[in-house]
Amino acid sequence: MACPANKRVVVGLSGGVDSSVAAALLLEQGYEVIGATFYIWPRGAGGGSGGGTELPAGVRDAQAVCAKLGIPHHVIEDEERRRQLIDYFAAEYRAGRTPNPCAVCNQTVKFAALLQTADRLGAAWVATGHYARIDRDPLGRPVLKRGLDPDRDQSYFLFTLRVPELARCLMPLGDKTKAETRQHAQRLGLATAAKDASMEICFAAGSHYAEFLRQNQLVREHAGEIVDLEGRVLGQHPGIEFFTIGQRKGLRVAAGRPLYVVDLDPDTNRVIVGDASALERDELFIQRCNWLAFDTLTGPLEVTAQIRYRHRGVEATVTPLADGWAHVKLHQPQRAITPGQACVLYQGEVVIGGGWISRTGPGQ
């Protein structure tokens, strides 16, 4: 990678091996690297192994990596952004949707904070340890692509980035595998080399999401009915916030056959259940669409639609609608299409754009 005239880059360090190696690779490529860690917990609210005002292990690990690499480190604390992310998380469950905090965090917290820090420090670039690639088209427009390692590709979580933001991003792990990343960390003797990847929601680390909502008084239990597709009452539940589409366990109803959550009704606080076949859908609506490959979508387009992280993708036709909506017609029915999750659209390895899955379309 050729270095531009301004070689200063702010690297988002989580305290994990991926972001640590991203910083090391950029340093090797001749960049002036500055580490920055977003502290998701306010001081004194816990989140660190020692409690109180002690920084959590992730921040301390990031500091150790920066010391090893000989680069400065900044801790970014932004209570307002943290609060907004948690409020979104709770509001989605209250509305009968399943939130995707990682994709929202990338847009409203992580990259926003990194870019703000970069501007303050006079850096042209920001970088992360995501397994995704950023190329340029013939006109110089940034092109977001899948990471080369299909088992680690994280482009799904990045569709919310705007083109001007993407134009300032570097993602040096896009052409690496996880094994290669860990080997590089071991060669450098980084403290994070053997650290396991975290699959937890950062602000709810160590807790099941329902327990996090209860403990922080973000939702309250309010009894409702579990009904079948014909409206027959099969049982009771403590609130739709504690269920998600496709869920089977925890229903506590005796039906003589497996039942799954097929819908959640926030107006009636009802959990609707049915057989596995009732989870199959061949179309969906998405809203608040963000288009990366062009300024706006003007007509139907053939794409591959990924309806959740780890979904293999399915061929589809996306058609633009008014006010940032789009209709996605899947060529094969898919199971458990979940409101609140992202539907990200690809052509080959290129992210075309995406939007947020809605229960109904515009005006319905």
What is the 8-class DSSP label of residue 109?
I
CB 13 within 8 A of CB 23: yes
For this structure, is 105 an active site residue?
yes
CB 12 within 8 A of CB 130: no
For this structure, is 66 an active site residue?
no
CB 345 within 8 A of CB 305: yes
Q: How far is CA 171 from the centre of its chain?
A: 16
Catalytic residue among 3, 66, 102, 105: 105
Rg of the chain over Cα atoms, rounded to whole angstroms, equals 22
Catalytic residue among 3, 66, 169, 202: 202
Cα dist from 245 to 88, 249, 263, 284, whole Å: 18, 11, 6, 14
List, in order, residues 6 or more apart from 46 with CB less than 8 Å away: none
The C-alpha atoms of residue 103 and residue 244 are separated, in whole angstroms, by: 18
Which tokens hold the place of 203?
């602000």
- Type and span of the H or E element at 346: strand 342-347
Active site residues: 105, 202
